[in-house]
Structure 1
Amino acid sequence: MSIPFLSIYLTQVKHVSPAITGIIVGTSSLMGIFTSFYGGYLSDLFGRQRVLLFSAFAWSVVFALFFVANSVFLFFISNALNGICQSIFEPSSKALLSDISEDKNRLQIFNLRYTAINIGVIFGPMLGLKLGSSHNTFPFLIAGLTYLLYGASLVFSFSKFKIEERKANPDPISIRTALNVTRKDTVFVVTLAGMILSISGYAHFSSTLPQYFAEKMKNGAQLFSFLLSLNAFVAITVQYPLVKIMKKIHPLNSLILGNIFISFSLFFVPFTSNSILLMMIVLFFTIGEVLIFSMIDFVIDDLAKPGLKGTYFGAFGFNRLGNVLGPWLGGFLLSTFHNDSLYIFSTISITTLLGIPALVFSKNKLKAERAVNGPFFTNHS
């Protein structure tokens, strides 16, 4: 209801340049890059529940800060803190889900989380548009109250249902050792590199596209709100049929196909302003999104070393570099080539496609390793 409209609010109301807006939007992910590893490590060290509660309540304060922000600097700080909260919350939540689920149900559990997110994305943009997200900051206050309620619900849940978190390593390792373990995992690092470029393409949906629609089309903010809700609705609709199909093949193929769908969808954006055709583009974009995000947590969970799941999920937070590169590149291209839409989106598309060679390399290396050590994802089949 709030963050997706931030770029429109900054450019249309505050008259901030697209390039500076791209930097502000990307700041959230930039801070996540520096703090995500530590968030995952802290969840392994202190426990998921404590870290989740802290991040949820801190998040409510951050959105209240968005509400009172009235300068570029304050929006920059608010979105930086937003990124820190997310980078602490995300790896802890995924690791906790892994802790409380059985191997045979883990893919389904991760996909239920993805479904819950998309249900929020269906109603959030419509509510945000109704509350005037593209014209004022009041929806940020509502979002802050929502996080406050969410934190309270976690307190209730953790008190009612006693959750035993797995602690495979009774003696906690140092953060330097944890960093070295992930850094020396070649498959993990190369997969991360491929995903950074793939995520950079996905990031344009909530940064470059709303600016493009607002500038080039009448009622662009309303159109973007509708397409955002359509994106979430399609994601929920196609998610489980796609997962059922893709679980039969190599999981990294799902990431590769997702990259292709997103790249080509972005390429065709400047060719039309017709709402029906734009809906078709969003349909294919969403299929690519689902192919990536319905499988990636499953992949990282399997690659993680025992006792370091929070650390691995945290280290994978470096993929948010794509969420920095995407808005920055989109903002730069819009500011520099605002009259050449084809050049803008073809550049974006090609940049996204560059993630495929890394993912192909990871798949081949992992298959070679598992040919010696055991079948790929045998514990989850």
Structure 2
Amino acid sequence: MEQTHPPTKELALHWTQHFKSFPLIVWVVLIGTFISRVSYFMAWPFLVVFLYRDYGASELYVGTILAASAFVGAFSGSWLGYLSDRLGRRLIMLGGCALAGVAYSGIGAADQLWQFFTLMLMVGLMRPSIEAPGKALIGDYLAHPKAREVALNIRYFLINAGGAIGPLIGIYLGLLHPQQLFYATGIVYLIYGGALGWVFCYYTPKVQKLATEQSKLRLRAVLKVVRADYGFALLLLADICMLIAYSQYESSLPQIVSRSGLAHAGHWVGYLILVNTVTIVLLQFPLLSLLRHYRLIIRIRLGVILMLLAQVVLMFSSSQWPFGWLLGVFFLSVGESIIFPSLNVLIDQIAPDHLRGTYFGVASFTAVGFALGPLLGGLILQYSSAVSLYVLCFVLMGLSLWFFGRVKAGS
């Protein structure tokens, strides 16, 4: 698993050729990912704000909602990835887009906390229905490993480009009534589903081919094969620890800022998202080029160290030093821009062709980190302090670094 990664410089020299090799279905996934993420980030950062401001939700209740949503995604991911291998990507992705349209539009219309809880469970089920099969689909239609690497890096870039644009729209158009922005998110996902349905009509033979006898293994047998990959298991453990700490950026940090008494706290929440996404958009490919001579796992360890440093900065940030929050998010984002695309490429490289969806689905189990993170964060914020939270995050990032350090032995 700790193999030398194809030089990013070589990839950059041949991007035009790789673009030309992308079939229409890959472009639809990439463009659909970008547009849907613009609408997602336009509304999502303000969910915590209006749950607290308009509905009086406590830190623990907000953490519980986010945790429950993430748990649904974590425990359904393996099953949905397996189904996408067995039944094809079309059925799972189209169902996910339809579910997203209903869930996000429902959040826009909800007026009771229990309704938000139910709809967030639907959001948790929707995400692995679209994302894991979408990443696997890129591998299905791009035979060349370098072309797949380019496509996966572009996908991650577009997600963060959408994250840079979305909060700006949310800040300046919908901050007074941010809940209504979720209607637009739901409509965009329905449009994305329609585009996928149209393009799948032209790629039916390929989709049908995915459901080979080799991929029709029983789910239990498939998961047994995946569990036997010890290096992959270490990656999952390291990723879970990292994501528990990272998830505080999306769940606990907005609550810390919103309840800090800082003037225009809602704007600061948007600025945090903006710092994250702009940093990744600007630095992702330069960092890949700079680190091209290092193995994937070495790059990932470097990213974890940067995230660990971010916890220290956030530990000492407060309303008296709000720019500390921005600085901490900057270090977190630089680490993220190294780690997340590298993990996607690594999983794509190690997954057998007929189990690619299953591997990405099992990898989505690391969303349990996103589930535990908001819950732990909510508990600590309600009964202790932000400093205690980031001390725990520092320890978790240290554990993640240790697990990643063991990957070589496991491989």
Do Structure 1 and Structure 2 share a fold, with TM-score over 0.5? yes
Contact 2:88 2:211 in 1 (8 A): no
Range that drifts further, 89-98 or 213-222:
213-222
Task: State how 1:1-20 maps to structure 2 within 5 Å.
Answer: 1-20=42-61
Task: State how 1:15-30 maps to structure 2 within 5 Å.
Answer: 15-30=56-71
Contact 1:119 1:233 in 2 (8 A): yes
Task: Flag the 1:250–1:163 CA change in 2: closer, same or farther, 3 A.
Answer: farther
1:315 maps onto 2:362 in alignment:
yes
Task: State how 1:99-178 maps to structure 2 within 5 Å.
Answer: 99-101=140-142, 102-132=144-174, 135-159=177-201, 164-165=206-207, 167=210, 169-171=212-214, 172-178=216-222
Task: Flag the 1:134–1:319 CA change in 2: closer, same or farther, 3 A.
Answer: farther
Deviations 1:81-109 (A, max 9, x none): 10101111111001001112211222211
Q: Tell me by how many angstroms 1:280 deviates.
A: 2.8
CA distance in 1, matches of 2:48, 2:292: 36
Task: Flag the 1:161–1:184 CA change in 2: closer, same or farther, 3 A.
Answer: closer
Per the alignment, in what secondary structure is the counterpart of residue 57 of structure 2? Answer: coil
CA distance in 2, matches of 1:114, 1:173: 31
CA distance in 1, matches of 2:110, 2:182: 10
Q: Tell me by how many angstroms 1:12 deviates.
A: 2.2
Structure 1 runs of 4+ off > 4 angstroms? 133-136, 160-163
Aligned to 2:130: 89
Q: TM-score, normalised by structure 2?
A: 0.84
Aligned to 2:100: 59
1:348 maps onto 2:389 in alignment:
no
AA at the equivalent of 2:296: P
CA distance in 2, matches of 1:10, 1:188: 38
2:377 corresponds to which of 313, 320, 330 = 330
Q: Tell me by how many angstroms 1:258 deviates.
A: 1.7
Contact 1:39 1:89 in 2 (8 A): no
Q: Tell me by how many angstroms 1:163 deviates.
A: 7.3
Per the alignment, in what secondary structure is the counterpart of residue 111 of structure 2? Answer: coil
Contact 1:122 1:233 in 2 (8 A): yes
1:206 maps onto 2:247 in alignment:
no
Contact 1:330 1:348 in 2 (8 A): no
Range that drifts further, 6-15 or 328-337:
6-15
Q: Tell me by how many angstroms 1:133 deviates.
A: 5.2
Aligned to 1:285: 332
1:181 maps onto 2:225 in alignment:
yes
Seq. identity, %: 27
AA at the equivalent of 2:210: K
Deviations 1:257-315 (A, max 9, x none): 22221122122124244454443322211111111111011111122134100001001
Task: Flag the 1:182–1:69 CA change in 2: closer, same or farther, 3 A.
Answer: same
AA at the equivalent of 2:410: K
Q: Tell me by how many angstroms 1:28 deviates.
A: 1.6
Q: Tell me by how many angstroms 1:347 deviates.
A: 2.0
Q: What runs of 5+ residues in structure 2 fail to find an aligned partner?
A: 1-41
Aligned to 2:276: 231
Aligned length: 364
Q: What runs of 5+ residues in structure 1 fail to find an aligned partner?
A: 367-381
Deviations 1:137-189 (A, max 9, x none): 21111110111111122233334567724639434111111111112221111
Per the alignment, in what secondary structure is the counterpart of residue 308 of structure 1? Answer: helix
CA distance in 2, matches of 1:81, 1:220: 29
Q: TM-score, normalised by structure 1?
A: 0.90
CA distance in 1, matches of 2:156, 2:54: 33
